[in-house]
Structure 1
Amino acid sequence: MINIYDDLNKLESTFRQTEQFNALKTAIEEVKQDEAAVALFAKFRELQMTLQEKQMKGEEIGEDELQYAQKTAQLAQQNQAISKMLMAEMALSELVQEINRVLTKPIQAMYDGIQ
């Protein structure tokens, strides 16, 4: 019998060794060393979560909330450490998407015959 979890654990180990993973790890450590960046990112993340929660509940997001979110995001992106971290996160996310695409390819292939 095949134990897919053995392969997944190997993939996790390999994933941790990728350039993208290590770039994000380094970028996060740099943010953690900058108190202003930590506070700004925490504020940015909390605001993001609040807005996402409102969207999921179907609640309307006010114009003032939207403007505040945009200003907070802009401030976060202007911080060099946070900007570097977000770019590293995007690169790692692209790798995760590619892994997901490869893993779901056989499933997609089964559906391709249905028209």
Structure 2
Amino acid sequence: MNPYDKAHELARALTDSEELTALLEAKRLVEQDPNDKLLMESFRQKQMEMSTYQMQGTEPSKELTEEWTKLVTEVSGKPNLAQYLEAEGRVGQLMQDINRILAAPFEELNDSDQG
């Protein structure tokens, strides 16, 4: 059994998966509406700013927090954007699950390092 062949098989399965298909369709819908696309770009930018604060262990300003809250509410109220983020979350969960499965054969290596 060749791991590379299985990796290519997995890539094909992901391409055909319900999760990725739904994400691509949701992305297409967002990109069709210039307002939705612009709002999603603003959301991503603000999301990165908020993540930076979180990674640094610092609190964002009250103004930034209020902007983020308002943006999240606005995005949540747009069906195409909410659908896109939901589909993105499902794909993210799928990838986390796959990574966990792929890491399992290497757990013994990690266990022996600690003992």
Using structure 1 for the length normalisation, give the TM-score. 0.83
Q: Structure 1, residues 1-22: CA drift from partner, whole Å, max 9, x if none?
A: x864443233212111100000
Q: Structure 1, residues 15-71: CA drift from partner, whole Å, max 9, x if none?
A: 111000000000000001111110111111111112223444555411111111111
Matched with 2:97 is 98
SS of 2:43's equivalent? Answer: helix
Q: 1: CA distance between counterparts of 2:91 and 2:54?
A: 26
Matched with 2:18 is 19
Report matched runs for 1:74-85 at 5 Å.
Answer: 74-85=73-84
Q: 1: CA distance between counterparts of 2:108 and 2:84?
A: 36
Letter matched to residue 93 of structure 1: G
Pick closer, same or farther for the CA change 1:61–1:84 going to 2, 3 Å.
same
Q: 1: CA distance between counterparts of 2:104 and 2:69?
A: 37
Using structure 2 for the length normalisation, give the TM-score. 0.83
Deviation at 1:103, TM superposition (A): 0.6
Q: 1: CA distance between counterparts of 2:26 and 2:73?
A: 18
Q: Structure 1, residues 59-109: CA drift from partner, whole Å, max 9, x if none?
A: 541111111111111101111100001111111112111111111112234
Matched with 1:52 is 51
SS of 1:61's equivalent? Answer: coil
Report matched runs for 1:3-18 at 5 Å.
Answer: 4-18=3-17
Count of aligned positions: 114
Identity %: 28
